[in-house]
Amino acid sequence: MKTALAQLNYHIGNIKYNTDKIINAINKAKAEKLDLIVFSELSICGYSPLDMLENEDFIIDCELAIKQIAKQTDGIAAIVGAPTINKNTKGKNLYNSAIFIANRKIIKTINKTLLPTYDIFDEYRHFEPNDIFEIVEYNNKKIAITICEDLWDEQRSFGNFSKEMLYKNSPLEYLSKFNPDFVVNISASPFSYNQADVRKEILVNNAKKYSTPILYINQTGANTDLIFDGGSLVINKNGQPIVEANYFDEDYKVIDLNFLNNIKTLPSDITNKYADIYSALVLGVRDYFKKSGFTKAVLGLSGGIDSALCLAIAVGALGSENVDVLLMPTAYSSSHSVDDAIDMALRCGVKYHVINIEKLRIEFETTLSDLFVGTKTGITEENIQARLRGSILMAFSNKFGHIVLNTSNKSEAAVGYSTMYGDMNGAISVIGDVYKTDVYKLSEYINKYIADIIPQNTIKKAPSAELRPDQKDNDSLPEYEILDKILYAYIESRLPFEEIVKIVGDKETVSFVLKLVNNSEYKRFQSPPILRISSKSFGFGRRMPIVAKF
Amino acid sequence: MKTALAQLNYHIGNIKYNTDKIINAINKAKAEKLDLIVFSELSICGYSPLDMLENEDFIIDCELAIKQIAKQTDGIAAIVGAPTINKNTKGKNLYNSAIFIANRKIIKTINKTLLPTYDIFDEYRHFEPNDIFEIVEYNNKKIAITICEDLWDEQRSFGNFSKEMLYKNSPLEYLSKFNPDFVVNISASPFSYNQADVRKEILVNNAKKYSTPILYINQTGANTDLIFDGGSLVINKNGQPIVEANYFDEDYKVIDLNFLNNIKTLPSDITNKYADIYSALVLGVRDYFKKSGFTKAVLGLSGGIDSALCLAIAVGALGSENVDVLLMPTAYSSSHSVDDAIDMALRCGVKYHVINIEKLRIEFETTLSDLFVGTKTGITEENIQARLRGSILMAFSNKFGHIVLNTSNKSEAAVGYSTMYGDMNGAISVIGDVYKTDVYKLSEYINKYIADIIPQNTIKKAPSAELRPDQKDNDSLPEYEILDKILYAYIESRLPFEEIVKIVGDKETVSFVLKLVNNSEYKRFQSPPILRISSKSFGFGRRMPIVAKF
């Protein structure tokens, strides 16, 4: 049974585009005389359409697309993912379904059982869980079709509470009673560097446990904040990976399911965290632009490491001809900051524009001088600089159609070390899920393995916002090595206070940092969407009350 | 059985504050020799704590608070709401529970069965649904305890799909088999003007259906965007309301459950939409400030109706001594706009500051003149004015500690007729859930019933952003009467395209407006939280993908 794994990059809601893509792949598979082609979860509409699923027109268009695809399946079978209507009189309106089509007919619709409803996932918001377990028989093969989370039944719930497992039932346990010849798992599994290896492990364990081969088909591409890494996989019944698709790119792999054990198994490669993060962020930026119909970006280049890293990623994603940078010094900017920024711009081959904002800054303060008479200079005046820069970036964007990239990192987003409507501006945050210590490591990775473009000056100087004379980040924050450890323990690991203290040793510092995090929810609420690379990114996956006290 | 309904205003995460409040009410009830006192859903921690529920310290503190409260219950029973740990080995970590405490002991923990997971609700994210139905016996009375949504089992799912009912089971149907003497429903049911009457109807229908009295206890107060209106209610077994607590305020009502039918029933009052919206918004602003520890507000007063209405609400919430307004004219501002704004400020008795930004605007354009040479004046220059105003408001806020109120209305938020980092600035949006046509009606309501403070000039003039000479809103948008009808049909009613066309008649206008709505998701993503008064407000309850096409 010759089967293709079609790992494609879908556009949310763009049903025509996705359908055309799917039909093209089916035609290719037909030309190659394959028996089956498999697409990923919700491939018809892209993942996740969120509340678009409440739009009746949207659901009808998905149904029409399935019919259109079915017409192309003479002589071949296809599995596609789509929302389908729950026809029972009770429950949620929809199912998250895998539709098995063959010879112009919809043979069977299999619905998802385990609906992730945590972190960035909201599936129970729209979907009814399945409770009927059926096998698909085709060409004398029994196929157990599952959808993403359905294979994650042994997942632990988060935290130190008493639960052992998040889910109460196991779809594959039911399906294994039919003695399937192989398992298909259609997925939309977003990348996070903490999880890349876990996913493979889960697939391997399931194959071994049920002694059944697994075909795992993921999507690739980025949808605003979420980045899907692909890496579709075929694992034989002994748990050995034998086919692996590209990461962070579309791919199309063919395998003959009758000869799974005669094939050389793949070496188990170790994930390189920074290589993966770089690829993920490049894909994230590229797809944000492609899918929203823009080509050109602009960002503020300060001479510091954050904006330099963002520029390197933007150039990797869009090409140097499509990125402009603005240097916006004031009297507080050190001379090296302009020099380093120009150096970086030249190394990247991007257009740079120096706009001295000193006169504008003074005029702004003059405008307010009557009102502010007798007050002390401080945060207000620092923020004015940041907001003027943010407004100039937006003016450039409005005038020339370049999209503003936000250059804040996760450490500063966490502690609120940023100015709303200033350096927090942007359509998308490039490194808002990258801690400052990782900003350095990622920069070093780029210099070593991609291109040596980030100036050593930029990497080596002490981090500073340069909003007042001689300002340094560690005037008001702990050293980043300590800070990031606390942040990771609190945000990613969600450890209790006492356990964080055990890791970093100093109660006062931990308490100070957690207070900063909790008190800046209101700022993050208005942050641009952030490209997600970790298991707990700020944004949709972390929902905190704003007016609260804990 | 003498029972108190304690309708209180809780602070999310402020467990000590909430616990003290609960204990005070218990002491009052003890002094009055009552048998039972009932508090609302998740009263220990406030509703909704969202992902604070993933913090182990938070859950432990809730448990400790319950123990502390239990110690105060000698001679009395109390029902309080709190998250409790699911002790089974499978499933979500927590339950959403009602805890029945009496004589210093936790007698029974009843868990919520129907977990709303739609619109602003995310309960299945953290809670395991209950499947054990038990009655509480106390003082020879059988009490059926339910939690909010548990009584909404007959709720229809949204849209024209085939479902009749969203839920598959009915907690009260199970509990009615025990022949309870009365039903207690502890709730955290947020206000929306479309739903105020529906809620009462549901309670009345349940009382009649099961021929059992219902005690419904809601909370009051606002938590960022969500406003809880209270209106706790006792309904006798014939479905007649006999006790009703205040709306939009704390209350404490005592009733003897042995004599429910000897009491005069209340007249069924008709809800006044604008009176309710006004009360809701005043409470929303007041609690935002009180609960985040601020007292003073600032807003930009343009002379137009939106900012005038926001000022009226702010003064109602915080007092005129706590609100400052900034008038920030440019050369494009009409003379009447400054006059009308000053008139409004004087009528309200608030401090106003006129800051002419014409020189600053020119300096901003001069700063960019080399870069912009040869380009046409347009949107960029309009946005510059809006962003300078936004930055000045933030500078005022930074300098004097006033919190910026956002003054955008729902119609402009819907179509993206607003400037990011400009007039979209603010900590909280006061009227972001009020359509422009309702802005007028609400203003007229205030002038007639609260105080005649909004100038007639402001009400009567044609809406304009005044960012270029002779600009009017209807240069680029349909008349608000038409626009708001389309928006309501699309956003609140989620009607398919063809049905919206049936209502407004003109295909092209509908298509134009829907496109504007869909294309401005990216702007709304960075909007401040919006005080919610409708059944579908922008923000947490409406989750749309940004990079998408439909």
Check whether residue B72 and residue B33 sit in a common domain: yes
Q: Which of B424, B94, B9 is nearest to A391 (CA)?
A: B424
Residue A509, in any domain of the structure: no
A112 is catalytic: yes
On chain B, the residues whose CB falls within 8 A of the CB of A360 are 363-364, 367
* Residues A190-240: tens digit of each pLDDT: 999 988 788 999 999 999 999 999 999 999 999 999 999 999 999 999 999
Residue B215, in any domain of the structure: yes
On chain B, the residues whose CB falls within 8 A of the CB of A545 are 12-13, 46, 48-50, 52, 223-224
A 7-36 → B contacts, CB under 8 A = 11-15, 17
Quick one: pLDDT at residue A550?
87
Q: Which of B239, B271, B303 is the endpoint of a domain?
A: B271
CATH number assigned to the domain comprising residue A71: 3.60.110.10
Q: Which of A47, A286, A421, A544 to mutate to test the interface with B (most CBs of B within 10 A)?
A: A421
Residues in chain A: 550
Our CA angle for A6, A11, A14, nearest 5°, is 115
Residue B550, in any domain of the structure: no
CB contact under 8 A, A85 and B161: yes
Name the residue type at position A263. I
How far apart CA B33 and CA B36 sit, in angstroms, is: 9
Quick one: pLDDT at residue B114?
98
Please spell the DSSP secondary structure of A217-232, one letter per residue. E--EEEETTEEEEB--
Quick one: pLDDT at residue B262?
65
B 102-161 → A contacts, CB under 8 A = 117-118, 122, 124-125, 157-161
How far apart CA B152 and CA A414 sit, in angstroms, is: 39
Whole-number Cα distances in Å, A3 to A30, A256, A258, B404: 11, 6, 10, 59
3-state per-residue secondary structure call for B3-57 = EEEEECECCCCCHHHHHHHHHHHHHHHHHCCCCEEECCCCCCCCCCCHHHHHCHH
What is the bridge-based pairing of β-strands A351-354 and B2-7?
unpaired
Q: Which of B209, B241, B271 is the endpoint of a domain?
A: B271
DSSP lists the bridge partners of residue A354 as A327
What is the bridge-based pairing of β-strands B77-85 and B36-38?
parallel
Domains in chain A: how many in total? Answer: 2
* Residues B404-434: tens digit of each pLDDT: 999 999 999 999 999 999 999 999 999 999 9
Check whether residue B320 and residue B345 sit in a common domain: yes
Q: Which residues contact B526 (CB under 8 A, 6 or more apart)?
A: A526, A527, A528, B420, B424
On chain B, the residues whose CB falls within 8 A of the CB of A12 are 545, 547-550
Quick one: pLDDT at residue A262?
65
Residue A484 in contact with residue A436, Cβ under 8 Å? yes
Residue B69 in contact with residue B26, Cβ under 8 Å? yes
Residue A403 to chain B, least CA–CA distance (Å) = 12
CB contact under 8 A, A92 and B157: yes
Check whether residue A210 and residue A357 sit in a common domain: no
**Average pLDDT score over chain A:** 95
On chain A, the residues whose CB falls within 8 A of the CB of B287 are 547
pLDDT at A254 over 90: yes
Check whether residue B267 and residue B290 sit in a common domain: no
This model's pTM is above 0.90: yes
Per annotation, catalytic residue among A21, A45, A108, A112: A112
Give the residue, A387 or A263, on which the prediction is more confident. A387
Q: Is B468 on the interface with A (CB under 8 A)?
A: no
CATH number assigned to the domain comprising residue A472: 3.40.50.620
Q: Which of B271, B295, B314 is the endpoint of a domain?
A: B271
Residue A211, in any domain of the structure: yes
Give the residue, B450 or A463, on which the prediction is more confident. B450
Check whether residue B189 and residue B243 sit in a common domain: yes
Mean pLDDT of A528-540: 97
Choose among B52, B89, B528: nearest Cβ to A165. B89
Check whether residue B352 and residue B264 sit in a common domain: no
Residue A411 in contact with residue B408, Cβ under 8 Å? no
Give the residue, B156 or B411, on which the prediction is more confident. B411
How far apart CA B21 and CA B31 sit, in angstroms, is: 16
How far apart CA A165 and CA A167 sit, in angstroms, is: 6
CB contact under 8 A, B14 and A526: no
What percent of chain A stands above pLDDT 90?
89
- Quote the domain boundaries for residue B21: 2-271
Check whether residue B260 and residue B157 sit in a common domain: yes
Residue A388 in contact with residue B368, Cβ under 8 Å? no
Residue B510, in any domain of the structure: no
B148 is catalytic: yes
Residue B151, in any domain of the structure: yes
* Residues B179-223: tens digit of each pLDDT: 999 999 999 999 999 887 889 999 999 999 999 999 999 999 999
Residue A186, in any domain of the structure: yes
pLDDT at A152 over 80: yes
Residue B149 to chain A, least CA–CA distance (Å) = 15
Check whether residue B250 and residue B335 sit in a common domain: no
Confidence of residue A505 (pLDDT cuts 50, 70, 90): confident
Check whether residue B259 and residue B328 sit in a common domain: no
Residue B431 in contact with residue B313, Cβ under 8 Å? yes
Q: Is B401 on the interface with A (CB under 8 A)?
A: no
Name the residue type at position A399. K
A45 is catalytic: no
Check whether residue A200 and residue A184 sit in a common domain: yes
Residue B503, in any domain of the structure: no
Check whether residue B345 and residue B298 sit in a common domain: yes
Check whether residue A161 and residue A298 sit in a common domain: no
* Residues A401-448: tens digit of each pLDDT: 999 999 999 999 999 999 999 999 999 999 999 999 999 999 999 999
Q: Is B162 on the interface with A (CB under 8 A)?
A: yes
Residue B354 to chain A, least CA–CA distance (Å) = 10
Mean pLDDT of B155-176: 85
On chain A, the residues whose CB falls within 8 A of the CB of B514 are none
Quick one: pLDDT at residue B468?
84
Q: Which of A36, A43, A37 is nearest to A17 (CA)?
A: A43
User: In the Cβ-directed half-sphere of B116, how many Cα atoms lie within 13 Å?
Assistant: 22
* Residues A28-81: tens digit of each pLDDT: 999 999 999 999 999 999 999 999 999 999 999 999 999 999 999 999 999 999
